[in-house]
Amino acid sequence: MYHLNLDIPGFVRHHWQKKPLFIKAAFANFQDPLAPDELAGLATEESVSSRLVIQRKGQWRSESGPVTDFERLGESGWQLLVQAVNHLEPAASELAACFRFLPDWRFDDLMASFAAPGGGVGPHIDNYDVFIIQGQGLRRWQVGDKGDHKPREGSGALALVEDFEPLLDVEMGPGDLLYIPPGYPHCGQTLTPSLSYSVGFRAPSQQELLCQLADQLQETGTGQKRFISDSEPEQASLISGDHQQGLADLMIQLMAAPSTLRPMLGTLLSQSRFELDPLPPEEPLDLPGLTAALEQGKELMRIGGLKVLQLEGDQPGSLYLDGHHWQLNTEALALPLRERTRLDLGSLTPLLADRADSTSLLEFINLGYWYLE
């Protein structure tokens, strides 16, 4: 449904994580994955993460969702932002899948927003990479250079920055794409009522990694080795440089060991930051039921936002899914489950013959991670 016109090797070499890029008509004949009233409907739900940013006389103010009253907002100066629309809307998930030339573990979510003329979130800096896709309507985007940008007074939780000198100043229409790496100030201003999509990529911080490691060590009772020295400092009150290094090495050895590192990364990186929307069948599905549905031409769809990852070096058949490790019998099932978001009878026939693997697949379906369509 969506095709991204992008020189991927060139982009990864010259722009990814380095420099902003604007691409006119990156998506030909772009169709919005959802309508403004559908987006407004999602924003009324408690379980959906949404917010409203209202701009009046050059001052921005944010209200967190659910958002129920749109009447009061008028015709200009506001923007509605809804996170993780890819979890809820299959077409949004297909749009996000155009960016799978980047690893799934880095993907955060697809945020959709509707903005009235004059609406925007104000000049700001993100600590993640974002691809902004323009849907219906027109927006002007300015992107400045990295540097020491002063916080904008009175912008509070919105953490805006002062106006900046633009490196890029573009008017975006349907199907245009803007890539902004972390650290570059940017600001979108809405010219006509507009839908736009932000596909975000985010790597974990040291704090997130180390908290995950600590949780894992506690859960598994591992990491019990202690420091042993071969020399002691002369001063009793001193923690010597050698001892500091020895203690640091003890931590590094533990966290760099594949038996610690891989489950830690698999668990952390296969979790989505936003709630998933599992779709279990009304009645638990069994193997004859699954086979019959596939034979009728139905396909098995992965729910939007579910990450299915493999750690290089792990055993064949290993996968991490929604923060849990699964060891499948064969790579024949694990590989298509990780790589593809849609599976038909042809791709599933050989592995339905493997009893253990078909049992695992049914378990995934009955948990609502894949559904028949």
Interface residue list for ligand SIN (CB under 6 A): 113, 120-121, 126, 130, 186, 188, 196, 198
**Both tokens assigned to 224:** 């019990």
Stretch that binds Co ion, among 121-129, 150-158, 283-291, 365-373 (CB under 5 A): 121-129
Stretch that binds Co ion, among 125-133, 138-146, 154-162, 288-296 (CB under 5 A): 125-133
Stretch that binds Co ion, among 49-57, 119-127, 226-234, 347-355 (CB under 5 A): 119-127
The nearer residue to ligand SIN, 190 or 318, going by C-beta atoms, is 190
Least Å from the CB of residue 209 to ligand SIN:
24
Residues numbered 284-303 forming contacts with Co ion, rule: CB under 5 A? none
What does 113 interact with, of ligand SIN, Co ion, none (CB < 5 to 8 A by kind)? ligand SIN
Least Å from the CB of residue 119 to ligand SIN:
8
The nearer residue to ligand SIN, 201 or 320, going by C-beta atoms, is 201
SS3 state of residue 343: strand
SS3 state of residue 252: helix
Report yes or no: 131 and 172 within 8 Å, Cβ to Cβ: no
SS3 state of residue 270: coil
Least Å from the CB of residue 188 to Co ion:
8
The nearer residue to ligand SIN, 189 or 318, going by C-beta atoms, is 189
- C-alpha distances out from residue 281 to 277, 291, 304, 364, 367, Å: 13, 15, 16, 11, 8
The nearer residue to Co ion, 126 or 331, going by C-beta atoms, is 126
The nearer residue to ligand SIN, 139 or 307, going by C-beta atoms, is 139
Report yes or no: 63 and 51 within 8 Å, Cβ to Cβ: yes
Q: In 3D, which of 300, 318, 308, 307 has the Cα closest to residue 365?
A: 300
In angstroms, the CA 271 to CA 28 distance is: 32
What does 196 interact with, of Co ion, ligand SIN, none (CB < 5 to 8 A by kind)? ligand SIN
Least Å from the CB of residue 25 to ligand SIN:
19
Least Å from the CB of residue 288 to ligand SIN:
48
Stretch that binds Co ion, among 6-14, 81-89, 120-128, 202-210 (CB under 5 A): 120-128
Least Å from the CB of residue 111 to Co ion:
10
Is residue 104 involved in binding Co ion (CB under 5 A)?
A: no
The nearer residue to ligand SIN, 113 or 272, going by C-beta atoms, is 113
Least Å from the CB of residue 185 to ligand SIN:
10
Q: What angle do CA 366, 368, 369 make, to 5 degrees?
A: 115
Cβ neighbors of 138 (< 8 A, separation 6 or more) are: 171, 172, 173, 190, 191, 192, 194
Residue from 38, 94, 104, 126 in contact with Co ion (CB under 5 A): 126
Q: What angle do CA 128, 125, 209 make, to 5 degrees?
A: 35
The nearer residue to Co ion, 85 or 311, going by C-beta atoms, is 85
What does 120 interact with, of ligand SIN, Co ion, none (CB < 5 to 8 A by kind)? ligand SIN
Binding mask 329-368 for Co ion (x = CB under 5 A): ----------------------------------------
Q: Where are the alpha helices (DSSP H) in the chain?
A: 8-14, 36-43, 90-97, 206-220, 241-256, 258-269, 287-295, 331-339, 345-352, 355-367
The nearer residue to Co ion, 196 or 212, going by C-beta atoms, is 196
115-146 as b/e: b if 16+ CB within 10 A: bbbebbbbbbbbeebbbbbbbbbbbebbbbee
Report yes or no: 143 and 188 within 8 Å, Cβ to Cβ: no
Least Å from the CB of residue 83 to ligand SIN:
11
Helix (H) or strand (E) holding 237: none
DSSP 305: T
The nearer residue to Co ion, 126 or 277, going by C-beta atoms, is 126
Least Å from the CB of residue 226 to ligand SIN:
46
**Both tokens assigned to 292:** 């019959």
197-232 as b/e: b if 16+ CB within 10 A: bbbbbbbeeeeebeebbeebbeeeeebeeeeeeeee
Binding site for Co ion (CB under 5 A): 126
